[in-house]
Chain A
Amino acid sequence: MIKSLDPRVNRAAIAEENTIEPLKDLDQWETYEVFHQKRRGDQHMHVGIVHAPNAEMALIFGKEQFGRRGLSVNIWVVKTRDVFTTDYEDSDIFETVPEKQYREAGGYKVMDKINKFKKGL
């Protein structure tokens, strides 16, 4: 038996050679992606994952792992396998030619016309 300074370990009466079967695949369940909202009015943000056997427990776990210091008011969880993502390899799809002022506020300069019009009056 292991003789420990930790009374909990002594109570568990652990043999020194306690070889165990290796953990099998999925022993730790699958993963859920956790999103939290810091304050009402904020967007939900991805904060990490939890391993859980079902959605209720993912919520129970996510609440404590990511919200135990009162930093969240709301939590969402979704199975990792249900999330669709773009590939970083394709991140060039987010790049675009800069000549697209037509959809930026700065692309509209009416004062020039107004001033010219006023001068001409």
Chain B
Amino acid sequence: MYGNAYIDPNDKAAMMTAGEDPQKLAEFEARIARGEKIEPKDWMPKEYRKQLVRMIEQHGHSEIIGALPEGTWITRAPGFKRKLALMAKVQDEVGHAQLLYSAAETLGKSREAMINDLITGKSKYSNVFNYPAYTWADACIIAWLIDAGAIINQVANAKGSYGPYCRALDRICTEESFHLKYGHDNVVTLATGTPKQRELVQAALTRWWPPIMHFFGPSDKISNHTEILMKWKVKMATNDDMRQQFLNMYVPKIWDLGLVIPDPNLKKNDEGKWEYTEPDWEEFKRVINGGGPCNAERLAVRRNAEERGRWVREALNTADAKYIVPLA
């Protein structure tokens, strides 16, 4: 046992590796430093497992909850092309949840446990999905800009250290490229369309800008804790870096369409960094903690869906079924 040394409870970095076999830890870190992937049955620090489960699970929840705001418009998409594409897109989100939950399962948490944590509010998901999609244009803005943000995050994480998560993300990123094109095409169509359509899309952008700025989370406090997660390739980029990358890629594209971003301070400075009005982080916290406009609805809808499907799942369960943690 290596757990006898006194650990200062304020020293988060030491807490993260407390009790771990130093030799195994060194081998584990060396493997990651060499750019090799960690696979499900490899030895890994408890904290690595815990952080990954939390992160992948939340990502999975975000996909299945993320199917709801866009799903709001699934029965109303205008015309065959949009109707088919929106169905395919929302379907992909469900598929992504399946892939991510599967990756998290390889770390030892069952899908049932993850769903239970979601529907009781114990586990979080991306805050943006607690906002409503008032109009068709909101669904279009989500498809373009929220998916754009998600891609930046996912492309970074796909270079992480955990094999099953990276493999899931590779597949997800391929599908996301369709989402991004689909979303952009929709927004361009509205922005270059009739005055009524332009009005719709501008209003949607105005509504969604604050949640978009919240999307990557508050600036990271650079702590030993974050440093270790970055060394372990669990966290691949800082929140601010990802936000900068997003602004750099998408603000010009939004401006190209003559749309107004509701932030008079938004500009690229001489050093190439984007300056913006600091988003309201109190609001962000309030929504995370259940106070957003749609938190209650999203979870109630998920509970309802689980409950309505329960008899179907129960009926098909056979006595000899046995759950084994998936292999990869």
A–B contact with Cβ pairs below 8 Å: the answer is yes
B322 & A9 in contact (Cβ 8 Å cutoff): no
Interface residues on A, range: 35 or more
Query: Does B33 count as interface, using CB distance less than 8 angstroms?
Result: no
A-B contact pairs, 28 of them (CB 8 A): A2-B296, A2-B301, A4-B72, A5-B132, A5-B133, A6-B71, A8-B74, A12-B301, A18-B304, A20-B303, A22-B116, A23-B115, A26-B321, A26-B323, A28-B112, A30-B321, A33-B326, A33-B327, A33-B328, A48-B99, A49-B327, A51-B111, A53-B321, A54-B318, A65-B98, A80-B326, A85-B327, A88-B41
A65 & B95 in contact (Cβ 8 Å cutoff): yes
Which residues, 67 to 84 on A, are CB-close (under 8 Å) to B?
Answer: 80-81, 83
A24–B112 alpha-carbon span in the complex (Å): 7
A64–B110 alpha-carbon span in the complex (Å): 22
**Chain B: minimal CB distance from A58 (Å):** 12
Query: Does A42 count as interface, using CB distance less than 8 angstroms?
Result: no
**Chain A: minimal CB distance from B128 (Å):** 16
**Chain B: minimal CB distance from A19 (Å):** 7
Interface residues on B, range: 35 or more
Please indicate the chain B residues that have their CB under 8 angstroms from the CB of A57 in the complex.
316
A16 & B102 in contact (Cβ 8 Å cutoff): no
Give A contacts to B, CB under 8 Å.
Answer: 2, 4-9, 12, 14-16, 18-20, 22-31, 33, 46, 48-51, 53-54, 57, 65, 80-81, 83, 85, 87-89
A65–B74 alpha-carbon span in the complex (Å): 20
Binds A, one of B213-221, B237-245, B257-265, B306-314: B306-314
Task: Indicate which residue in A12, A28, A46 contacts B313 across the interface (CB closer than 8 Å).
Answer: A28
B297 & A4 in contact (Cβ 8 Å cutoff): yes
Please indicate the chain A residues that have their CB under 8 angstroms from the CB of B308 in the complex.
12
B316 & A18 in contact (Cβ 8 Å cutoff): no
A18–B307 alpha-carbon span in the complex (Å): 10
B300 & A14 in contact (Cβ 8 Å cutoff): yes
- Sample of 14 further A-B pairs with CB below 8 A, known A23-B116, A23-B310, A46-B327: A12-B308, A18-B300, A18-B303, A23-B112, A23-B306, A29-B317, A31-B323, A33-B327, A48-B168, A48-B171, A83-B327, A87-B41, A88-B41, A89-B42
